[in-house]
Amino acid sequence: TEGETEEEGSGEAGDKLVIGFSQVGAESEWRTANTKSIQDAIKEAGHELKFSDGQQKQENQIKAIRSFITQKVDAIVFSPVVETGFETVMQEAKDAGIPIFLADRAVDAEDDSLWVTFLGSDFVEEGRKAGQWLIDEMADQEGPINIVELQGTVGSAPAIDRKEGFEEIIGSDDKFEIIKSQTGDFTRAKGKEVMEAFLKSDGGENIDVLYAHNDDMAIGAIQAIEEYGLKPAEDITIIGVDAVKGAFEAMADGKMNVTIECNPLFGPQLVDLIEQHFAGVELEKRIAVEESMYTMDQAAELLPTREY
């Protein structure tokens, strides 16, 4: 889309669309940035947005999609909170002739004709990057290296995939062991609560590494570690995912070691894909968002440049 021009190059892409967006919730810094990016991009492109916050509940998202169908929106953008259980409602949208664009999170369904494309990050790869960073970081350290894991929302694509990718890599060296693994639902409050329980039951001295499936849980856990009287990033190595500002602040303060980037700012790319679809372009079923990883020593320098 070329900024100022009203008309798009081809087909009906210049037409104003009514887009229903069923978002997961507002559980993390990442999510807030993602919501804003998508909302802004839809509005800036001159389309109408109907927004629904699912509050991390599947039934809310099913209701929202049904309501979008009743309202006869042109397209549905959908970030499924969990991978399974959405086929029926997605079929209803398909039967009504309304295309679904999966954003951020995938569904685990046989019939990929239920959605046009899935635009999101490669969460397995993020987990691998986290594992590889740890292997390199601890190359000279003798085992056992005890890891505690804070998982994301149970049944969600990023929780399943980030666990899988991480385990795949650390599994190559048996000095690493995941001694505790529990969900913190991607929130700071839950991350703190579960880390407190880990520290209590295992004794902080026994825990060498925290792998958190997102930065918010890592930040909550850092608080728990400090309150327990230990030094985060020194006594316990802290790995997060997302690369949100809060993680850069924690790293700049010397309290967090590394964060794997998961870029939420794909609103413009998403709107572009929707417009291409309505212009008759055949889209790939899977489109990836590009990302990187950042360590403590880069944090202070990069913090002012971070957009989320």
Q: What angle do CA 13, 308, 298 make, to 5 degrees?
A: 130
CB of 64 to ligand GYE, least distance (A): 17
Region binding ligand GYE by CB under 6 A among candidate stretches 1-9, 23-31, 40-48, 221-229:
23-31
CB atoms within 10 A of CB 208: 20
DSSP bridge partners of 183? 151
Of the residues 30, 198, 211, 294, which one makes contact with ligand GYE according to CB under 6 A: 30
Q: Site size for ligand GYE, by CB under 6 A?
A: 13
Pattern 187-226, ligand GYE, x by CB under 6 A: ---------------------------x-x----------
Of the residues 242, 248, 259, 277, which one makes contact with ligand GYE according to CB under 6 A: 242
Q: Any contact of residue 185 with ligand GYE (CB under 6 A)?
A: no
Q: Any contact of residue 105 with ligand GYE (CB under 6 A)?
A: yes
The span from the CA of 290 to the CA of 215, in Å, is: 18
C-beta of 27 vs 208, nearer to ligand GYE: 27
Q: Any contact of residue 261 with ligand GYE (CB under 6 A)?
A: no
- Using a 10 angstrom Cβ sphere, with 0-12 exposed, 13-18 middle and 19 or more buried, the burial of residue 287 is middle
Nearest to 151 by CA among 181, 108, 126: 181
Region binding ligand GYE by CB under 6 A among candidate stretches 1-9, 25-33, 171-179, 296-304:
25-33
- Reading the block at residue 219, the tokens are 């930040």
Please name the residues in contact with 1: beta carbons below 8 A apart, sequence gap of 6 or more: 8, 45, 268, 271, 272, 275
Region binding ligand GYE by CB under 6 A among candidate stretches 24-32, 84-92, 218-226, 282-290:
24-32
Of the residues 13, 31, 68, 192, which one makes contact with ligand GYE according to CB under 6 A: 31
DSSP H or E stretch at residue 48? strand 48-53
Quick check: helix, strand or coil at residue 266?
coil
Longest C-alpha distance within the chain, in Å? 63
Under a CB-based contact definition with an 8 Å cutoff, are residues 51 and 25 in contact? no
Alpha-carbon 107 to chain mean position: 14
Of the residues 20, 131, 158, 220, which one makes contact with ligand GYE according to CB under 6 A: 158
Q: Any contact of residue 161 with ligand GYE (CB under 6 A)?
A: no
CB of 283 to ligand GYE, least distance (A): 21
Footprint of ligand GYE (CB under 6 A): 27-28, 30-31, 104-105, 158, 186, 214, 216, 241-242, 262
